Amino acid sequence: MSRHRRRAPAKRALKQTWVLIVAVVVVTVAAGVSLGLLASGDDGESSGSEQQGSAATTSQAASPTGPRGNPTPSPTRSYPLSKAPQIIPAVDSHTAARGPGWRPARGERVVVSDTELADEGKLIAGELGLTYAGRKNDVRAGDVRLALGDGEGGNPESYSMTVRGGRVAISGPGEAGVFYGTRTLKQAVHDGRTAPEGVVRDGPAKPVRGFMLDIARKYFTAGWIEDRVRELGDLKFNQLGLHFSDDQGFRIASSSHPEIVSQQHLTKAQVRKIVKLAQSRHIQVVPEIDSPGHLGAVIAAHPDLQLRNVNGAATRGAIDISKPESAEIVDDLLNEYAGLFPGDQWHLGGDEYQALVVSSPEASYPQLATAAREAYGAGATVADLATGWLNDRAATVRTHDRTPRAWNDGFFRNTKVQPDKDIQVAYWTGKEIGARAPVEYLSTGRKVINYNDEFLYYVLGEPQTFVYPTGERIYEQWTPRVLRGTTAVPAKYDSQILGGSFAVWCDLANSQTQAQVAAGIRMPLRATVQKLWDAGKPQLTWAEFKALADRLD
């Protein structure tokens, strides 16, 4: 009896222990689900479909079987299905997954599989407050790993970004693609948000995504230009055009012709710093010395090269291309600046040569007509001479392994001399005398870059018929195939359209300050790159896109 009485409390204690264990399991399951929901999503909110997915997974956690009767461990942590990262430009595709995603934390590493990616690794590490650890083969929690490898169709600007198991892996066939992957990650975690679980596969629709700045008519500080380079890099632009010679000024120091340089100008050291910063963002700086028009700053120091008509009147901004000295000075400059601007692109200008806007160029400029006949035979015209000038300047930059481009009004109909086939068309207007529709260039196989002045020209002071472009109009109405006006060229020419460039022109230079220009082009730049990265109809409405841009800034 006494032994039986002593065992009774032990049974009660055992019973209480089992109750406690069951309670702990229930609390653990509930806590796991709760933590999973708190850890998921970019902003702590879920769509209706996500909420349904979460509820289903929570039910599975409390059940011995999951979907289709598959065994599911219990207890387990649950996450809603991830959404694509909300960035500009939008990613091409995202394979959703369930998991906590990734958020930067101090002490975590950026590592590279290839030493060529050191610059990209150091940049993103510094931006996110991580440690750059260099080339490593080990794996640690929280790692961001950059590697050269797979990409979409071998496009060097494509990349994949995998967020899985609390780590991030970004890879692409080229360094540029890996860099763009880091831009996606940077935007995805902006303002304390979480990069969503899953796999991004992304790449641009167009290889040319440019911004052109007229620094000839208006002086922009080196610091302001550097700020734009950082902005362009984060948006995945890859070209910065600098128009630095015009009638109003010549804005970069010159050793071959220092006499032509404006008082306010960029030093070569400042330009090298801009170029280096641009290279770190995989942006090529494309220089433009426009000729044979728009050379007023050069002519001011060399008045003997000024083009004059039959009455001896000077023609504004135009150099006399019948004189060998005109070619010599322009080639001196092209050769000099080829050493300052690395890369494979060069803009030759070629537009608005005033000798060709009069009713009879041969009668108004007999010296040009004579030079044309001497060079190209009987019947040759001033337009032939201008085309020969363009070809000669193309030959000069070609010796530096550059691909030339020229404005569309530097190409002429019915000439004996044809522009070299490799000169790309920078199509900006259909308003010039004898305007040629874009299809005229495309049908001959020529490659075209879209600078459509109807959408992409930000002209200070809004002279003539120009109005400041809006991001909304670009976002909703423009595509790379809309080369002139508002009408798209046939889809069969899409592959010949290399991309496009938003342009700032400073016709009335004092109309806006640098800060006003930066603010005015902010949304147009974002809309332009969205349509160059993906020419299709955007998934977001304009209001949603603008709200996203505001959040990311």
C-beta separation of 195 from 189 below 8 A: yes
C-beta separation of 217 from 249 below 8 A: yes
Sheet holding 131-135: strands in order across?
A: 93-96, 198-202, 159-164, 167-172, 144-148, 109-112, 131-135
* pLDDT > 70: percent of the chain: 86
Number of Cα atoms under 13 Å in the Cβ half of residue 250:
23
- pLDDT tens digits for 255-290? 999 999 999 999 999 999 999 999 999 999 999 999
- pLDDT tens digits for 109-158? 999 999 999 999 999 999 999 999 999 999 999 999 999 987 556 899 99
Average pLDDT taken over every residue of the chain = 88
Q: For 54-63, 167-176, 531-540, which range has the lowest pLDDT when averaged over its residues?
A: 54-63
pLDDT score, position 433: 77
In sequence order, the 6+-apart residues with CB closer than 8 A to the CB of 502 are 210, 211, 212, 456, 458, 521, 524, 525, 528
Longest dimension (CA), the chain: 137
Cα-to-chain-centroid distance, residue 387: 32
- pLDDT tens digits for 67-93? 333 333 334 468 999 999 999 999 999
C-beta separation of 291 from 319 below 8 A: yes
Residue 386 scores a pLDDT above 90: yes
Residue 203: phi, psi to the nearest 5?
180, 160
pLDDT, average across residues 409-432: 94
pLDDT score, position 152: 59
The residue ranking higher by pLDDT, 391 or 52, is 391
Q: Does a cis peptide bond (omega within 30 degrees of 0) precede residue 104?
A: no
C-beta separation of 362 from 384 below 8 A: no
DSSP letter at 512 equals: S
Assign 56 a pLDDT band (cuts: 50, 70, 90). Answer: very low
pLDDT score, position 77: 67
pLDDT, average across residues 180-194: 97
In sequence order, the 6+-apart residues with CB closer than 8 A to the CB of 113 are 135, 145, 146, 147, 148, 149
Neighbours of 65 (CB within 10 A): 11
**Exposed, middle or buried: residue 10 (CB in 10 Å: 0-12, 13-18, 19+)?**
exposed
- Find residue 172's DSSP bridge partners: 148
Neighbours of 3 (CB within 10 A): 6
